[in-house]
Amino acid sequence: MPQPDEPLPHFAELAPSTPAARYTGSQVLSPADFALMFNARTRQLSWFLGAGTSAAAGIPTGYDMIVEFKTRLFCRDTGLAVREIDPGDPLWIERIDWHFEHQGIMPARGSPEEYSAYFEAVYPTARDRRNFIDDKLSRASPSFGHRVLAACVVSGQTQTALTTNFDQLVETSCTTADELVDPAERARLNVADLQRVDVAQRCSTQGDWPLLIKLHGDYQSDSLKNISVELVSQDEELRQVMITLCGRYGLVVAGYSGRDESIMEALSAALDQSSPFPGGVFWVTRPESELLPAVSVWLDAAADAGVGVHVVGAENFDELMGAVERQLDFPALLADHVRASRPAARVTPVELPTESGDQYPVLRTSALPVLEIPTKARRIELSQGATTRLLREALRESGRGRQVAIAAIAGGAAAFGRDEDLLVGLSSYGPVLSGEVAIDPRTESWAHGLLYDALVNALSKGRPARAHPGRHLVILRPPQPGRDDPIAHEERQKLEGLKVAYKSGLHGNATALGRYFAEAVRVRLEFWLGRWWCVLDPLTWIADPREVGEDAKAPQQTRRPTQEEIDAASSWRRERWAQRYNAQWDALINQWSKFFCPEDNTTISAFGVGPADGIDASFTLYQKSGWCPPGSRPSANWNAS
């Protein structure tokens, strides 16, 4: 629910839930087919290693890191000990997420800023972050794939490699492999990073191979790049060496999603050379998955430039390198060292259950089937790179922030709303409308985030409610008590069902807190059983301190609540919801469903933009929520609800 396609930190690329994409411009090679071609071109190919190549070595995923950061902040806020929390327990994760969502200070769950924001909150300085990464990466040990790559380096079959990773797995593997050959035949790997750029320049000009270039730094480096803002631009000198190497060698890209804008720009610049990638390009991805649009566009551009482009389907780095190892010859001791680490088979036979459980009683969910979602957005080219957060700030400062939804992607942005609003709001970035961009929220985090923002706006548009996209909230906004116009009458009529279901006022002042409150729902857009669902989680929203109610003439300046105020609000909220049992919950789900979907099939739009003015985001929802047997996910038979 990782949203914009901005450069993500090292760990985030390891998350197994983010598949790459299918490229239809060339035939997808199997690992065995790739190994045959690699054997014929060993000295013509360089390796580009992304974070996915380190997953099997024990380096935590981006999701694991976010959970750890949240847990530490949660313990700080609540006084609990870290050892008391089980990060593998979904109930703990739900409680922790709820804690931060209701604070409203940190980015929403799944947003692209989530990793960086929590990383900086727990480790505020570059030294803190470097020490943290030092601790995590120092525990890793080279995988089978790293041993094969090291054998290629030591045996002279690989001369150059580039990586965005901070770890020292390649260096460690090569050092170990060096010890297994005659001293006169040792590779003695040269390593260049942000503090050793001269090493890359010397090796490139003098042919002093083998060479490893660490484009984002070494985990022991003082110049480590590990948060989003630090990844926007690439070190220029290393970038030039990388481009030069791309004019001398072909490239095998493994474990890399293509999310780092600076890397993709450097690869694009490499195509401007007279003879780029003479050994061809091999982009490794998971079988039957899809490449990011930026990668597909780049591969097409490479093919147009005369480069031999191939996509290789491999489940992971170890599988790919296993096929390579079977095709190459290594010195005996080196070969034994590599094969000793080959992973054991993970598939074992199990007996399938033969008895089916009872299908009743049936449990109702608050998930509304989404029959249609947007499939395209406006593509905007920008004269300079920017993250989603920066683009939103520019739109907000221009007064256009509520009229559009936007997400950063490679080379620009994707957005919904009026073209005029986008051009005016982004004027400082030199925006140029560039047609449309396809949206696939299952494979692209930026697309999921963009649809989240649009859905929250669509659910509130034309209703007595207001959207809070950053927190995925729709907050009721009843008309002022003194209003007696037709619009106010219509809004009160739309709220009547919810007022009856709640058996209390939908908004007001919490006297004990001295703060305004209103009933609301948190929106989740999730994919189950082959379809999208709009999940509604009812809650009571409480305004920040000193913020007045919706019926006031002018809101006062707000401030962040203290921990005591957060605890008091949580207690007040629990007491308010304590006596709401199943029957009332059923009524609430009914009324929220009808509030958003007056008809069985209701189409809602986020901004009311016509085709001639821009691209709008339209969703079609089904009024009846899903149901499921206990312990299951919502049934596909949602019509029976």
Q: What is the pLDDT of residues 171-197, one digit of tens each?
A: 999 999 999 988 888 888 989 887 787
Residue 593 has pLDDT above 70, yes or no: yes
Average pLDDT score over the chain: 82
CA neighbor of 210 nearest in space, from 43, 383, 356, 70? 43
At 117, give phi and psi (nearest 5°).
-65, -45
What digits encode the pLDDT tens for the residues 4-15?
333 333 333 333
Residue-wise burial string across 293-329, b where 16 or more C-beta atoms lie within 10 A, e elsewhere: bbbbbbbeebeeeebbbbbbbbebbbbbbbbbbeebe
CA neighbor of 166 nearest in space, from 12, 375, 358, 329? 12
| CB of 290 closer than 8 Å to CB of 440 | yes
pLDDT of residue 557: 56
Instruction: Give the pLDDT band of residue 351 (cuts 50, 70, 90).
Output: low
Give dist(CA 218, CA 130) in Å, integer. 10
Strand partners, 542: 517
What digits encode the pLDDT tens for the residues 259-303?
677 788 899 999 999 999 999 999 999 886 778 788 888 999 999
pLDDT of residue 151: 94
Taking the CA of residue 173 as centre, how many other CA atoms within 13 Å lie in the half-sphere pointing to its CB? 27
Radius of gyration of the chain (CA): 27
Q: Which residue has the higher pLDDT, 15 or 335?
A: 335
pLDDT of residue 131: 83
Residue 79 has pLDDT above 70, yes or no: yes
Beta-strand ranges (E) seen in 449-552 are 465-468, 473-476, 507-510, 515-528, 531-542
What digits encode the pLDDT tens for the residues 522-574?
998 888 888 899 999 999 999 887 665 554 444 455 677 777 888 888 888 88
Percent of the chain predicted with pLDDT > 90: 41
Strand partners, 524: 535
CA neighbor of 117 nearest in space, from 193, 26, 6, 198? 6
Query: If you average pLDDT over residues 65-73, what whole number do you get?
Result: 88
pLDDT of residue 279: 94
Residue-wise burial string across 418-436, b where 16 or more C-beta atoms lie within 10 A, e elsewhere: bbebbeebbeebebeeeee
User: Domains of the chain, with CATH numbers?
Assistant: 25-58+140-339 (3.40.50.1220), 62-138 (no CATH), 372-456 (3.30.70), 462-605 (no CATH)
Matching residue, tokens 């007040």:
572
What digits encode the pLDDT tens for the residues 223-243?
445 444 444 444 677 888 899
pLDDT of residue 547: 60
CA neighbor of 58 nearest in space, from 137, 132, 166? 137
Residue 147 has pLDDT above 60, yes or no: yes
Q: Is 468 helix (H, G, I), strand (E, B) or coil?
A: strand
Give dist(CA 505, CA 485) in Å, integer. 21
Give dist(CA 498, CA 465) in Å, integer. 12
Q: CA distances (Å), 372 to each of 153, 396, 489, 525, 567, in order?
A: 51, 29, 31, 12, 40
pLDDT of residue 227: 47
pLDDT of residue 9: 32
